Amino acid sequence: MQHFPDARSVVRALAPDEPVILNRPHAAARAARFFVEKFPGRSLYAVKANPSPDLLQILWDNGVTHYDVASIAEVRLVRSVLPEATLCFMHPVKAPSAIREAYHQHGVRTFSLDSVEELAKIVDACRDEAGEPAQDLRLCIRLRVSSEYSELSLASKFGCDLTEAPALLQETRQHADWLGVCFHVGSQAMTPFAYVQALERVRAAIAEASVVIDMVDVGGGFPSVYPGMEPPPLEDYFQVIHQHFYNLPIAYNAELWCEPGRALCAEYSSLIVKVEKRRGDELYINDGAYGALFDAAHVDWKFPVRALEDDLIKPEMDFAFYGPTCDDADYMQGPFPLPEDIQAGDYFEIGMLGAYGAAMKTDFNGFGAAERIIVTDEPMASLYDGSRTRPEADNVVSLR
């Protein structure tokens, strides 16, 4: 991969006609070290947020040893890039063939589930050649919890509720060498209280089931920083989680896990786009809803933008974007503030696309291409660049 100092130097050197993904390895490394050093337990990287092999290697090199995978393709990918990593198959609904391959060929021992049907599937798929059940399964019951404090809900699809959890915990304990409880509060949880509420649910389920619990996994949901979404410091989340974990009725040596996706990789990537046409306050650009801007189109996510031309001198105004495909839905309403005099042929940078951005690009309508380049400047915003001081600051982040 080519190296440049920043987006401007890329535009000056290459004047790219196709979008360019800018990767910042130092930002991902810094996020990984932050979780490894400060989270009071183990941090698994949720691979779906960005499965780039380069990123997986950076996280591994900076101390992330466990990976939350959700499909057999993710199992194979991480296994091929990181032969020694511990893989945890945390999708509660899996194909039997995926479970079989993960267990027998890739050394996966940890699986999540939210129903007795899935338990039976796992037990069956992991039998040895003589048909004997596996003795080393590490199973994790996914509880449904509220997503009310998060920007993106994960509350309706997976997880058993409190009326089902105790029986499922008791039944699963019979087949598991090691039993955990997991949940997901929804992505971009804007307050640590989201985890408090969820951990109270865990407490209720465990108390009712009265089984030995070896692990509690608080899932993902740790926020990054975007315009209009500036969360409290992550240390506050860690502290509250630790305190409530500590008070649970669990084995004295029980482990605490988390599964950050977004928080580990949002700062890793940004995108250079070119304006193809301007129509009033609408810019037609060369990436969009079927590219790295899926969330900007589908859930109105506000990503930060900055112009890359020196000759744009007017104050900013709000723009909406059209992506390159022929589909009307390829539209990002924003608003995205850019200089009033921006026009066709100009470039700008869209930041914080390392999570659920670069990973979502498709080839629909022939617009999937993007070069990848490493840059060394700071991401447009950071939770980890030392600009935030505790304890007095509750909303201090650097937004450039």
Ligand X SMILES: *Cc1c(COP(=O)(O)O)cnc(C)c1O
Positions that interact with ligand X (CB under 6 A): 46, 48-49, 68, 90, 184, 187, 219-222, 259-263, 355
| 91 vs 274, beta carbon nearer ligand X | 91
Please report how close the Cβ of residue 140 comes to ligand X at its closest, in angstroms. Answer: 10
Q: Kindly state the smallest distance separating residue 219's Cβ from ligand X, in Å.
A: 5
Cβ proximity to ligand X: between 220 and 334 the closer is 220
Q: Cβ 104 to ligand X, closest distance in Å?
A: 23
Which residue is closest to ligand X by CB? 220
Q: Which is nearer to ligand X, 221 or 231 (CB)?
A: 221
Give min distance, CB of 195 to ligand X, in A. Answer: 12
Q: List beta partners, residue 282.
A: 279, 320
- Residue written as tokens 């977004």? 262
Round the CA-based radius of gyration of the chain to a whole number and report it: 22
With CA atoms as reference, report the closest residue to 319 among 329, 310, 307, 328: 307
Task: Please give the full DSSP string across 198-264, using - where no structure is assigned.
Answer: HHHHHHHHHHHH-----EEE--S-----BTTB-PPPHHHHHHHHHHHHHTSS--TT-EEEE--SHHH
Q: Is 280 exposed, middle or buried (0-12, 13-18, 19+ CB in 10 A)?
A: exposed
Q: Which is nearer to ligand X, 187 or 191 (CB)?
A: 187
Nearer to ligand X, 214 or 259 (CB): 259
State how far the Cα of 235 lies from the Cα of 38, in Å rounded to an integer: 7
Instruction: Tell the smallest beta-carbon distance from residue 295 to ligand X (Å).
Output: 11
Minimum CB separation of residue 356 from ligand X in Å reads: 7
Question: Which among 88, 140, 182, 326 is annotated as catalytic?
Answer: 326
Q: Any catalytic annotation for residue 88?
A: no
How many helices (DSSP H) and strands (DSSP E) are in the chain?
A: 11, 21
Q: Which of 220, 324 has the CB closer to ligand X?
A: 220
**């050093």: which residue's tokens?**
37
225, two tokens: 């920083």
Secondary structure class of 45 (helix, strand, coil): strand
3-state secondary structure 101-156: HHHHHHCCCEEEECCHHHHHHHHHHCCCCCCCCCCCCEEEEEECCCCCCEEECCCC
Give me the least distance between CB of 237 and ligand X, in Å please. Answer: 11
Cβ distance to ligand X smaller for residue 74 or 259: 259
The Cα 347–Cα 241 span in angstroms is 43
Output the six-digit token pair for 34: 């932050």
Give dist(CA 114, CA 168) in Å, integer: 8
Q: Which helix (H) or strand (E) holds 53?
A: helix 53-61
- 110 touches 136 (CB < 8 A): no
Query: Active-site residue numbers?
Result: 326
